[in-house]
Amino acid sequence: MSEVIKSTVAEFNITYTQFLDESGKPSQDLPSIAKDFDKLIKLYRFMVFLRAFDTKAINLQRTGKLGTYAAILGQEAVGTVIGELMQKEDILAPAYREYGIQLQRGMKIQDILNFWGGDERGNNFANPHDFSMCVPIASQCLHAAGAAKAVQIRKEKRVVVAVCGDGATSEGDFYEAMNVAGTWKLPLVFIVCNNQWAISVPRHVQSAAGTLAQKAIAAGIPSEQVDGNDVIAMHEVVEQALDRARNGDGPYVIEAITYRLHDHTTADDATRYRSQEEVDQAWQREPIKRIHNYLVANNKWNDDLETKLQEEMKAHVAEELEGYFNMPKPKATDMFEHMYETLPDALLEQYEIVSQG
């Protein structure tokens, strides 16, 4: 039997970008953003603000003043950079941990807490180009594809950004959205925030793929990995992807490698499924300390500035919380709003019952 000759018809590779190592030292030649210290300090300040807010939100839940809450501890760099680079007219399709992007695009802390506090009307977005706040797993990716198609039809120079977690990449919605985005060359950037855990399911159990970024290959979409705890690397990769999509070169997939340092939500106990040793190791890679060390090493930050910043951000969060505590409690009838232009008869009957009492 003769030997079968097979030829290679396609080859692919997935790149990984990191500029600052775990200690904040350069791991390769740095891009221009690394010398824009005004920008880096702005990003750092916002990340510190996010952590102060996150800490306070957890404390509110623990004392019965807030419903179940999903912390962003350890993932601050991903959202901060995306929010900084998106233009006002761009469209955001978020998952449920994108507080940083949402706050940068016009939401207030009280809006986010209002959602987790039980008022899930989802009509609090200040930016009219963003989707209402919801708790999606991957469905927002399909919504983003639809919005991107509308942008394309109108020939608008805008980008749609869909953010999802590593667990969402196992959902059919994610694959379907990528397939249509690749086929139609939509102005859509998918950013997978790979925090290593889909609730209690670790990354290596979720998928046999070597990377989550390579899932884009079958859809004909270029993709790459980036260190999601490295602000400089995130800025470089996300900026290029957004520029690419905005200029008509089609979709892109970014897998941002980070880690969920807190429980999945405040209703979860992560000690039941992951070791403290793993979490301790992840703390060594966290993003705020990394950029802090880089700024200090370049004489752009010091202990006095840090003390002042911590006090400033705690005061800012406290001031925002006053707005949340002073918000009127939602009415029971609010659950019927923003679902139908005209309520169907079955819901109309329920609405009348609830409104009477």
> What are the catalytic residues?
260, 264, 273
Cβ atoms of residues 165 and 95 within 8 Å = yes
DSSP-derived secondary structure for 303-325 = HHHHHHHHHHHHHHHHHHHHHHH
What is the C-alpha to C-alpha distance for residues 306 and 123, in angstroms, rounded to an integer?
A: 36
Half-sphere exposure of 249 (CA within 13 A, CB side): 10
Structure tokens at 109: 């802390």
> Residue 102: is it exposed, middle or buried by C-beta count within 10 angstroms (0-12/13-18/19+)?
buried
**Exposure string (b/e) for 51-72, b if CB count within 10 Å is 16 or more?**
bbbbebbbebbeeeebbebbbb
Instruction: State the greatest distance between any 2 C-alpha atoms of the chain, in Å, as a whole number.
Output: 84
Amino acid 221 reads: I
Question: In sequence order, what are the residues at sequence separation of 6 or more whose Cβ sits closer than 8 angstroms to the Cβ of residue 15?
Answer: 224, 225
